[in-house]
Amino acid sequence: MTTSVRQGTPTEKAPEPVLGTELIPKERYTSKEYMELEWERMWTKVWNMAGRESDIPNVGDYFTTELGPESLLIVREAEDKVRAFYNVCPHRGNQIRNPGMGHAESFQCAYHFFEFNLDGSKKFVPDEDTFTQGVPQETALVEVPCDTWGGFVWFNMNPDAEPLLEFLHPVNEHLDPYHMDEYAIVQDLTVEWDTNWKASVDAFNEVYHVQGIHPQLLESLDDIHVQIDLYERHNRYLVPFGLVSPRYPNQKEITQPLREFMVAAGIDPDTFEGGMGDVRPAMQAATKKSAAAQGLDVSELNDDQLSDDYHYYIFPSLTFNTNALNFLFFRQRPHPTDPNKMFFDMQTYVRIPPGVDHPPRPIHAQYKHGEISIGLVMDQDSYNLPRVQKGMNSRAYPGLLINYRERRIRHMHKVLDNYLEGPDR
């Protein structure tokens, strides 16, 4: 397990890189050839989040995670050691475990009963003497680099992978003050969306679309004065909540969404004596008071973090909507064969006070596009994205025209290019 030094989340504006203004070719979202290139040169070379460390608290606990055409088996091999293996038997290719989680003293393939220890080594091969070529001890599960941070387990299919914290830098240091390892998962679902994984990432990496797709949000956040910071691989924006958008016609109105935010923070809007400009600082003060009453230490967070969405994107496909006492996590996974489809994982976490038992873990559920509501804002995005993907496939559409407020998208493509077209290619 790796550790890092905790410090306050930086608020300084990062320098702006030169990203250009050219169209982003639509083939990056529609071409199967490009999808295969991404897989070989990017997905198999980066650190990917596998799941929550709390799902494997005991030696022998395991879960599987699926990424593109691969399935990975994550197991707690020792009290302080988590390992990741390709979920495949080296004998005839049978998957060792079905998707899900469980507990095992060893892993036995159900096809021919090849058996493996928790460290992946060979334990037993039936009728071993009938293999005239021999069954070397190296016949074992194929291991990949694995590490933990933030209460999550991470894996990398590149055997020469850089250390996890080097890959995450500087976002790991930014998020450490939230103490994400102290959070419990309270919602866990996957929806197969009819769009490319990057189109989904794009939808959450800009607020330019709020006025169009989410007009109701103009009553509770500022979609204009948003700080965007672009780092070497990852990026963020800081979205102020607890006030109305400059686009909203009545700048003095305490809107119904703001009233609901006040109630959630413990403020009675009917007896509140301040004006609209007083709502945000009042929410921040109330959140700090509520945290203290629950035994939660938020002293490492600044006042804005008590109300705003510190929205972090970890390349290539992870989104953290971080708040003082909870965070909403998105993971976009590529479809194994179709560039026009993807898997959208959405999980909600809440911070649990020290010494308090975590609530029962929710059962993971998976749906097809449109089978379930995932909340008004998310439903608006999920309705729109298939239309975006279909439009991208039109012969009339050459590529993405990106403005300055959407530059997180252009930055993501620049990082992607570094993997696909870097000096070693």
CATH number reported for the structural domain that contains residue 143 in this entry: 2.102.10.10
Question: Do 126 and 228 fall within a single domain?
Answer: no
Q: How far apart are CA 212 and CA 387, in angstroms?
A: 14
> What does the pLDDT look like over 81-114, one tens digit per residue?
999 999 999 988 899 999 999 999 999 999 889 9
Domain boundary among 125, 160, 195: 160
Q: Judge whether residue 67 has pLDDT over 70.
A: yes
Q: Is the domain of 250 the same as that of 141?
A: no
Average pLDDT value for the chain:
94
The tokens for 283 are 């929410």
Same domain, 62 and 31: no
Q: Is residue 347 located within the same domain as residue 381?
A: yes
Residue-wise pLDDT for 333-361, tens only, equals 999 999 999 999 999 999 999 999 999 99
> What is the pLDDT, as a whole number, of residue 371?
93
Q: Bridge partners of 107?
A: 116
Q: Count how many residues are written for the chain.
A: 425
Of 111-115, 235-239, 264-268, 367-371, where does the model show the most confidence? 235-239
Spatial contact of 76 and 62, defined as CB atoms under 8 Å apart: yes
Residue for token pair 């989410």: 214
Residue 349 lies in a domain: yes
Asked if residue 118 lies in contact with residue 75, where contact means CB atoms within 8 angstroms, the answer is: yes
Q: Are 413 and 21 in contact (CB under 8 A)?
A: no
170 occurs within a structural domain:
no
Contacts 24+ apart (CB under 8 A), 28-36: 28/198, 28/413, 28/416, 29/196, 29/198, 29/199, 29/339, 29/389, 29/392, 30/196, 30/339, 30/340, 30/389, 30/392, 30/393, 31/339, 32/337, 32/338, 32/339, 34/339, 35/334, 35/339
CA atoms in the 13 A half-sphere facing the CB of 116? 28
Range of the domain at 284: 13-45+179-425
In a domain, 398, yes or no: yes
Q: With CA atoms as reference, report the closest residue to 199 among 20, 332, 32.
A: 332
State the pLDDT confidence band at 5, using cuts at 50, 70 and 90. very low
CB of 37 closer than 8 Å to CB of 25: no
Compute the distance between CA of residue 277 and CA of residue 141 in angstroms, rounded to an integer: 59
**How confident is the model over 389-407, as pLDDT tens digits?**
999 999 999 999 999 999 9
In the block, residue with structure tokens 């490492």: 300
Residue 2 has pLDDT above 70, yes or no: no
Rounded CA-CA distance 331/319 in Å is: 6
Q: Is residue 397 part of a domain?
A: yes
Domain identity same for 64 and 209: no
Same domain, 101 and 183: no
The CB density around residue 394, as the number of other CB atoms within 10 Å, is: 10
Look at residue 48 and tell me whether its pLDDT is greater than 60: yes
Structure tokens, 10: 């930086």
- pLDDT higher than 70, residue 30: yes
* Residue 4 binned pLDDT confidence (cut-offs 50, 70, 90): very low
- Name the domain count of the chain: 2
Q: Rounded to whole angstroms, how far apart are CA atoms 316 and 333?
A: 9
Quote the pLDDT of residue 228: 98
For residues 123 and 241, state if they share a domain.
no
Last residue of a domain, one of 160, 188, 211: 160
Residues 336 and 425 in one domain: yes
pLDDT digits (tens, 9 = 90+) for 299-322: 999 999 999 999 999 999 999 999
- Check: CB of residue 16 under 8 Å from CB of residue 231: no
**Residue 2 forms part of a structural domain:** no
Q: What is the CATH number of the domain that holds 327?
A: 3.90.380.10
pLDDT at 1: 41
pLDDT given for residue 3 in this prediction: 42
Write the CA distances from 208 to 230, 383, 407, integer angstroms.
17, 17, 11
Residues 56, 20 share a domain? no
Q: Is the pLDDT of residue 263 over 70?
A: yes
pLDDT of 133: 76
Q: Please indicate, yes or no, if residue 126 is contained in any of the structural domains.
A: yes
Cα dihedral 419→168→63→110 (10° resolution): 30
| Domain end marker among 160, 194, 228 | 160
Residue 172 lies in a domain: no
Confidence of residue 155 (pLDDT cuts 50, 70, 90): very high
Residue 307 placed within a domain: yes
Q: Same domain, yes or no, for 355 and 384?
A: yes
pLDDT tens, residue by residue, 273-292: 999 999 999 999 999 999 99
Other residues' Cβ atoms within 10 Å of the Cβ of residue 140:
17
33 and 64 both lie in a single domain: no
Q: Are residues 419 and 272 in the same domain?
A: yes
pLDDT above 90 (res 130) = no
